[in-house]
Every structure is written in C-alpha cells, then in structure tokens.
Structure 1
Amino acid sequence: MKKLAAPLLAFTLAFTSTTAFAGGPVVVEEEPVVEAASPRSGWIVPFVVGLILICAVACGNDDDDNGGG
C-alpha cells in the first residue's frame, strides 16, 4: 500500500498544483457606490394629502335626512 500511496500522492500534487495556478491572478474591481439624490419635492405629497383631508372635514356630508319621505 505504501508503494502505491507515495507515487499516487506525487502524481495528484503535480496535477492539482498546476491547475490551481492556471489563468493567472484574479483582479476584482470594486464598483462605485451610486446614491440617489434626495427628492426636492418631498413636501408636495404631504401637502396635497393634507388639503384633501381638510376639504373632506370642511365639506362634510351634504345629505340631510329629515326622516320624511
């Protein structure tokens, strides 16, 4: 078994070491981080929603039910 193990180990190391370094070094480039700019019109949506709520409260319900028919 020892006569077979030594040549097998040498053979395995010879072929795996050459394939491990094939192709040269791998260069990893970092991509730049892109940040979104803050929206300038961030006040428009709350303003419009506020106007709608104020109108809904101020207008109220115009359906007067006098109980008669």
Structure 2
Amino acid sequence: MKKLVLAAALTAAASTAFAGSMAEPVMEPVVIVEEAASSSTGGVLVPLVLLAVIAAVAAN
C-alpha cells in the first residue's frame, strides 16, 4: 500500500513539473508615439530670430 501511495505521489509531482511547453514566450511590442513638431512654427521662428539679431546689430 505504501508503494502505491508513493508511486501516485511521484506521478502527480512529475506531471505538474512538465505542465508547460518549451515554446518561446510571445512579447507584445511596446508602442511609442512621438509627437511630430510643427514645421510651420519651427520654419518661421529661426529666420525671425536671425532677422531680429541682424536688426539689433545694425541699429548699434
């Protein structure tokens, strides 16, 4: 009787040890949202600053 209980316990322990598969885990990709810079603001701001610097130098 003891051998039967021991065999049942070992069988139960062995079956739970191999419950999973060896397949690679599937990881979902991380989605990164990047805000696009407005080209109209950046395209106008730099020339206006340069024009202001040139005007300030010319005024002196």
Normalised by the shorter chain, which TM-score bucket?
0.3 to 0.5
Give the TM-score normalised by structure 1. 0.38
> Higher helix proportion, which one?
2
Specify the structure having the higher radius of gyration (Cα).
1
